């Protein structure tokens, strides 16, 4: 088996499944299994239409450089579900899709095997079909046409079609035949009044707009965003309660019962309806289609909603923003007018980078939840001349690292790093006059000046601190092995400097201050084990307490704190089964 394969370049909004199917045809493989082996490196994989897995492997093997994240965002259902999931869960969905084991992914977004036959649906728009052949020479499966709730093409407002022959089986890779003579198809819905057709077309448009967003809006806690609108429309009482009955009646009137039935979203069907849940503080994820129904009902369209609710489009509010360069005179003044927004590849959350004309720039993870967040600085990206000059000044004045750090608004490590690296005149051979000065301010820096044989502890401390931090981070990042407790002994052994850490702590202030951040008490370590075990059990709902305790290796006498962490992890898992309660039969239209 070859180490790589050359997938066709995906067309706009093409399903990953469709790309693989086109590859299958091109490769002339007689069995889909061969194709899967070439694409994923294993045939032990089902190329699901909605939320496929093994995407790291696929992206690694593909000669065309497309990152797994791009496949996920643009060619799967991820961007349909993720905006309505809690951050942590969306991150896990993504991780599962990248991994070699995507078995829990459907349960994680709330689709269970029993409620959906995922191979059932491959629909297409007859107009797109013609258009694609003209444009690209071949038709393909569009993602938007497969999304739950889409019955019409959002581009052509035409009812979608499904194939009636040839009928495909579950494990085959189906392409849309290139000639109309090669297949027969029928409309997926028929005989609906124009009014309903229009409504369905609007819904398709909303869904299309949702999955086209480059920055996925965070809509898990939709209530927060729509509350002002609910109040405006008279659905909130003076005592801040939602007029559930009125809301429900009006929504049913707006869409009609017939349509809500068709898309299985009649809010009057159960006593604790999806509508009621949508307007409460988020406890469980609500299906995207239903959230979009509510949004359209309240705002007229999803577009209008996005335009009106700042949070979705401007996660950091509007310009200007403060410069957070403590060395500058304009510290905390609102002088920054530009903010670059990217997406964190791990969490999917927006990251804003704010650059000031003084050369200082910083970033922070969003969205901002309050005005005070504006003054929160995440990572410093660049320091700029004003900051560096001030640092130089501090060093020349003989200020200690710690006070310089305080003055410059950074931690001591940063000062040490830049005092060393960024002030070249302090490193090289120095003129005698200057050298005296340098020695009094910072003896560690010019090692050539240090008397022979004297151990330079400050330098040693600095070097050691990087190693220690890296080792600690590596231990925490290793989620595959059973957790080990971070202690001085463990770190000392790992970096081969145990005796220094044991005997010379007072000479290693930076290293020790970093170590104290990472060293774990028994409880802290137990809590980390609990989180680790919960992660392992994330495919199971609900997570059983005894199972979690066993996997985490807890003895029964654990502390209140640890117990709280278990509750939190189990509680979290309760959030993970949004559509499987008895109240809701969770029979989504797919």
Q: Which residues bind Zn ion (CB under 5 A)?
A: 125, 127-128, 153, 155-156, 323, 325, 328, 356, 358, 360
CB of 551 to Zn ion, least distance (A): 49
| Residue 286 · residue 84 · CB < 8 Å | yes
> Which residue's CB is nearer to Zn ion, number 127 or number 382?
127
Which is nearer to Zn ion, 360 or 418 (by Cβ)?
Answer: 360
Q: Look at residue 575 and give its three-state secondary structure.
A: helix
Nearer to Zn ion, 143 or 287 (CB): 143
Q: How far is the CB of 302 from Zn ion (least distance, A)?
A: 19
Question: What minimum distance in Å lies between the beta carbon of 288 and Zn ion?
Answer: 21
> Long-range pairs for 82-85 at CB < 8 Å and ≥24 separation?
82/216, 82/348, 83/210, 83/213, 83/216, 83/217, 83/218, 83/219, 83/220, 83/288, 84/219, 84/220, 84/222, 84/285, 84/286, 84/287, 84/288, 84/291, 85/109, 85/220, 85/285
Minimum distance of Zn ion from residue 154's CB (angstroms) = 8
* Cβ 379 to Zn ion shortest distance, Å: 16
CB 98 within 8 A of CB 72: yes
Quote the least distance from Cβ 126 to Zn ion, whole Å: 8
Kindly report each contact of residues 135-142 with a partner whose C-beta sits within 8 Å and lies 24 or more positions away, as own/partner: 136/11, 138/22, 138/178, 139/176, 139/178, 140/11, 140/14, 140/15, 140/18, 140/19, 140/22, 140/175, 140/176, 141/14, 141/15, 141/17, 141/18, 141/21, 141/176, 142/13, 142/14, 142/15
Q: Which is nearer to Zn ion, 187 or 252 (CB)?
A: 187
Q: What are all long-range contacts of 391-394, with beta carbons under 8 Å and residues at least 24 apart?
A: 391/327, 391/415, 391/418, 391/419, 391/422, 391/423, 392/423
How far, in Å, are 310, 315, 318, 514 from residue 522 at the CA level? 44, 39, 45, 19
Which lies closer to Zn ion via its Cβ, residue 251 or residue 356? 356
**Residue nearer to Zn ion on the CB measure, 109 or 356:** 356
In what helix (H) or strand (E) does residue 362 lie, and over which residues does it extend? strand 361-365
Q: What is the DSSP letter of 241?
A: -
Q: How far is the CB of 321 from Zn ion (least distance, A)?
A: 11
Q: CB-wise, 139 or 217, nearer to Zn ion?
A: 139
Q: Residue 363 is inside which H or E element, if any?
A: strand 361-365
CB closer to Zn ion, 36 vs 327: 327
According to DSSP, residue 145 is labeled G
Q: Please state, as a whole number, how many other Cβ atoms lie within 10 Å of the Cβ of residue 344.
A: 14
3 state DSSP class of 201 = helix
Shortest approach of Zn ion to residue 201 CB, angstroms? 11
Structure tokens at 485: 């407790």
**Torsion angle, alpha carbons of 44, 50, 53, 55, to 10:** 120
In the complex, least distance from residue 408 CB atom to Zn ion, rounded to whole angstroms:
13
Comparing CB distances to Zn ion, the nearer of 68 and 328 is: 328
By beta-carbon proximity to Zn ion, the closer residue of 313 and 382 is 382
**CA angle (446, 451, 457) in 5-degree steps:** 65
For strand 339-343 and strand 379-382, is the pairing parallel, antiparallel, or unpaired?
unpaired
Closer to Zn ion by CB, 97 or 391: give it.
391
Output the smallest distance, CB 378 to Zn ion, in A.
16
The nearest distance, CB 156 to Zn ion, in angstroms, is 4
Closest contact distance (angstroms) between CB of 164 and Zn ion is 19
Please identify, using beta-carbon distances, which residue of 129 and 299 lies nearer to Zn ion. 129
What's the helix, strand, coil split of the chain in %, to 5? Answer: 50, 10, 40
> What are 7's two structure tokens?
């997938």
Least separation in angstroms between CB 336 and Zn ion: 7
- C-beta closer to Zn ion: residue 131 or 441: 131
Q: Torsion angle of alpha carbons 337, 340, 343, 349, nearest 10°?
A: -10
Question: HEC profile for 434-465?
Answer: HHHHHHHHCCCCCHHHCCCCCCCHHHHHHHHH
């Amino acid at each position: 088996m070859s180490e790589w394969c050359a997938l066709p370049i995906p067309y706009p909004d093409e399903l990953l499944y469709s790309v693989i199917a086109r590859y299958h045809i091109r490769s002339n493989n007689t069995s889909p299994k061969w194709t899967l082996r070439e694409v994923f490196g294993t045939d032990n994989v089902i190329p699901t239409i909605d939320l496929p897995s093994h995407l790291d492997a696929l992206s690694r093997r593909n000669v065309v450089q497309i990152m797994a994240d791009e496949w996920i965002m643009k060619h799967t259902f991820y961007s349909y579900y993720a905006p309505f999931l809690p951050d942590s869960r969306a991150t896990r969905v993504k991780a599962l899709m990248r991994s070699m084991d995507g078995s829990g992914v459907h349960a994680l977004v709330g689709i269970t095997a029993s409620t959906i036959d995922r191979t059932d649906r491959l629909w297409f728009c007859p107009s797109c079909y013609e258009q694609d052949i003209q444009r690209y020479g071949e038709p393909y499966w569009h993602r938007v046409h497969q999304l739950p709730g889409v019955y019409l093409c959002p581009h052509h407002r035409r009812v979608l079609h499904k194939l009636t022959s040839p009928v495909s089986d579950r494990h085959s890779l189906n392409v849309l035949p290139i000639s109309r003579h090669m297949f027969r198809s029928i409309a997926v819905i028929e005989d609906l009044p124009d009014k309903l057709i229009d409504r369905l077309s609007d819904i398709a448009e909303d869904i299309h707009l949702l999955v086209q967003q480059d920055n996925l809006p965070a809509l898990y806690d939709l209530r927060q965003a729509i509350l002002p609108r609910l109040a405006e429309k008279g659905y909130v009482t003076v005592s801040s309660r939602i007029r559930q009955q009125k809301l429900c009646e009006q929504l049913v009137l707006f869409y009609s019962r017939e349509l809500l039935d068709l898309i299985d979203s009649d809010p009057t069907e159960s006593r604790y309806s999806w509508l009621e849940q949508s307007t409460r503080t988020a406890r469980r994820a609500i299906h995207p289609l239903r959230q979009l129904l509510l949004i359209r009902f309240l705002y007229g369209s999803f577009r209008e909603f996005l335009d009106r609710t700042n949070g979705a489009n401007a996660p950091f509010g509007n310009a200007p923003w403060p410069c957070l360069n403590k060395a500058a005179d304009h510290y905390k003044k609102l002088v920054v007018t530009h903010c670059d927004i990217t997406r964190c590849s791990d969490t999917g959350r927006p990251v804003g980078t704010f650059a000031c004309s003084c050369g200082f720039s910083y970033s922070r993870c969003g969205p901002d939840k309050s005005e005070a967040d504006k003054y929160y600085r995440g990572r410093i990206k660049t320091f700029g001349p004003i900051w560096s000059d001030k640092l130089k000044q501090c060093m020349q004045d003989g200020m200690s690292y710690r006070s310089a750090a305080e003055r410059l608004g950074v931690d001591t490590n940063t000062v040490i790093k830049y005092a060393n690296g960024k002030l070249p005149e302090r490193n090289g051979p120095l003129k005698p006059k200057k050298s005296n000065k340098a020695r009094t301010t910072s003896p560690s820096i010019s090692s050539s000046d240090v008397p022979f044989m004297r151990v330079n502890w400050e330098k040693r401390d600095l070097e050691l601190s990087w190693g220690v931090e890296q080792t600690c981070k590596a231990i925490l990042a290793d989620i595959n092995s059973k957790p080990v407790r971070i202690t001085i002994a463990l770190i000392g052994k790992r970096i081969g400097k145990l005796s220094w850490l044991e005997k010379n702590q007072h000479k290693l202030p930076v290293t020790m201050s970093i170590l104290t951040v990472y060293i774990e008490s028994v409880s802290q370590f137990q809590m980390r084990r609990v989180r680790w075990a919960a992660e392992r059990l994330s495919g199971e709902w609900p997570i059983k307490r005894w199972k979690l305790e066993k996997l985490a290796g807890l003895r029964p006498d654990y502390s209140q704190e640890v117990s709280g962490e278990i509750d939190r992890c189990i509680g979290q898992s309760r959030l993970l089964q949004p559509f499987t309660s008895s109240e809701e039969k969770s029979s989504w239209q797919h």
